[in-house]
A and B are shown apart, each in its own frame.
Chain A
Amino acid sequence: MDWLSNTIGADWARALAQFVGINVGFVVVLMIVAYTVLAERRVLGFIQGRLGPNRVGPGGLFQPFADLLKFIFKEEITPSASTRFVYFLAPVIAITCALMPIIVYPFGPTVWLPFVGEFSLVIARFDIALLYVLGITSVGVYGITLAGWSSNSKYSLMGSLRAASQMISYELSLGLSLVGVVLMSGTLDLYTIVEQQGGWFGLKWNLWDVSRVPQVIGFITYLISAIAETNRVPFDLPEAETELVAGFHTEYSALKFALFFMAEYVNMFTVSMLATTLFLGGWQGPFVDVFPWLGVVWFLLKVTFFLFLYIWLRGTLPRFRFDQLMSFGWKFLLPVAILNVILTATVLYFRWS
């Protein structure tokens, strides 16, 4: 690393290192996401008493690549009455905003590699990491909204209107449910939040940390609003097949549809990572002190649990009605999230004084 910073300057060397890190992170996440799709199809098959895709490769292991090839070679159809520029822009916004938050999540502790030296398994650490995640998520609404508008189709428009109002509503309870953790940690930097949850065999995880304030209410509120935020069952009204064909992506085909599809699963993955980082101790786990690389395994195991929960819910629960969804979000989830903030602040105030 030293010779590199001597040749092109420390700033550029750091930028280059982060560029490499971002690419490695994206490739890893996209591979995990591809296999999440396969896992979803297989698990759903198991729940519904059938097999699921098992033809391509051993046990269907190469199915994601077959799907990708199919997406690439399908015909790209652009509706003649669409607003063309926005129609192309929408999936780009969706996938960009889905991938951007990945850089702030700590995948593991400080590790050592030959030729590289010691480094932390997080691409960027900055003061506002959590706000950055929330900001990018809120910009992601545009992808869906513009997709529905530019397709010039009634189903798409209805789907995107539903999606936009749903995401705006549930963003509030999502953000408020995280405030409890921020109050406890006193920082927005995710790496520090994870470090604070170490020791005591997992008893210091924010979810049930009795030495501070257990965030059980915050965790449940976050989980529900995260499912709604990613438009998954039972909150998948934007793409309700029985009413709206496929919702906002009705008019999209081939690779542009694949981008929306990928964005949905990457979003699932990132909200699972956020839940793991904030409530379940991130990469903390047994023997991480001895073998730092084990932290990655613990982290991915916890994230996998949430991904499985998503698939499980999809196989089990029916869909909400739209007015139920709205009144649930505004009249139940939001007050509960605010209650959690007040409770946490009060308890912390009396602890400190």
Chain B
Amino acid sequence: MSDVLPSISQLLFVLFGAMALGCAVAVVAQRNPLYSAISLVGVFVSLACLYLTLQAPFIAAIQVIVYAGAIMVLVVFVIMLLNVEEEVRRPLRLRYLVPVGVLLAAVLVGEAAFMLQLGNYAAYTPTMPASSDVGLTASIGTGMFTKYLLPFEVTSVLILMAMVGAITLARQGRTPLLAAPGNVTEEPAALTAGGDVLLKPGDTAATGRAFAREQIRTGDAAAPSEVSREEGER
């Protein structure tokens, strides 16, 4: 290795580590839910790149395909469809949350410092990731279908149960309430008056009528315009 330039793996680690941290902070700090979702995609992609530098290419690919490519697309889709408003900064309802958060963060930092100072690393010699083939597709496939077959199948059944549960809940036949600005702040009692109609699944005309009634009632019949507020912020 030359001493003129830093090693590539160090450079990549710093680059993608910084990207992951920056995007993670942005997920929490952004007030627009769509920006948070995009930042989360950034976190997933930079984590995948970190996995690649650790010689685990299969995990990296699955991370991108499943999380960034499938789950987050659905999240972005829902945010777009529901036209979620930018979060209005409200006074905190649970005031003791801030000191608790600070305390927990302090405990975490303390634990990390404790481990770094007092941990015994003499007995622990990790193998270089470059010399192992644990992360390769073939070894993961072999492991999953031989040694870890039972956990793999149990996990699949668990996920299948979650899917069946979600479909059962979705087919109850109640109209979902649109997350319009009007019905978020209102009391739930006022909403049940006209909006909560029992509908048969597949009866699209009735669903449309119920939605229209709901939107007219909340004064949301025309698409809400966010022009003025966004212009003001810019």
Q: Which residues of B sit under 8 angstroms from A160, Cβ to Cβ?
A: 80
CA distance A128 to B7 in the complex (A): 24
For the complex formed, measure the closest distance between the CB of B12 and the CB atoms of chain A, giving whole angstroms: 10
Whether the pair A11, B8 counts as a contact (CB closer than 8 A) is yes
Q: Contact mask B64-105 → A, CB, 8 Å, 1/0? A: 110011100110110011000000000000000000000000
B2 within 8 A of A: yes
Whether the pair B73, A126 counts as a contact (CB closer than 8 A) is no
CA distance A81 to B224 in the complex (A): 13
CB-nearest residue of chain A to B61: A131
Whether the pair B70, A138 counts as a contact (CB closer than 8 A) is yes
Q: Which residues of B sit under 8 angstroms from A11, Cβ to Cβ?
A: 1, 7-8
Contact of A164 among B35, B62, B77, B234 (CB under 8 A): B77
Whether the pair A9, B5 counts as a contact (CB closer than 8 A) is yes
Q: Which residues of B sit under 8 angstroms from A10, Cβ to Cβ?
A: 1
Chain B: residues with CB nearer than 8 A to chain A? 1-2, 4-5, 7-8, 34-35, 38, 41, 45, 48, 57-58, 60-62, 64-65, 68-70, 73-74, 76-77, 80-81, 136-137, 223, 226-227, 230-231, 234
CB-nearest residue of chain B to A188: B137
CB-nearest residue of chain B to A82: B230
CA distance A138 to B57 in the complex (A): 17
Whether the pair B5, A149 counts as a contact (CB closer than 8 A) is no
Whether the pair B61, A139 counts as a contact (CB closer than 8 A) is no
Whether the pair B41, A138 counts as a contact (CB closer than 8 A) is no
The 8 A-B residue pairs with the shortest CB-CB distance, nearest first, are A138-B69, A9-B2, A131-B61, A135-B64, A128-B57, A135-B65, A128-B61, A11-B8
Q: Which residues of A sit under 8 angstroms from B34, Cβ to Cβ?
A: 83, 86, 149
Contact of A131 among B58, B68, B77, B81 (CB under 8 A): B58
Contact of A145 among B77, B230, B231 (CB under 8 A): B77
A141 within 8 A of B: yes
CB-nearest residue of chain B to A182: B137
Whether the pair B80, A157 counts as a contact (CB closer than 8 A) is yes
12 A-B pairs besides A83-B230, A128-B57, A138-B64 with CB distance below 8 A are: A9-B4, A10-B1, A15-B8, A126-B57, A131-B61, A134-B61, A138-B68, A145-B76, A145-B80, A164-B76, A168-B70, A168-B74
Whether the pair A8, B230 counts as a contact (CB closer than 8 A) is no
Whether the pair B73, A168 counts as a contact (CB closer than 8 A) is yes
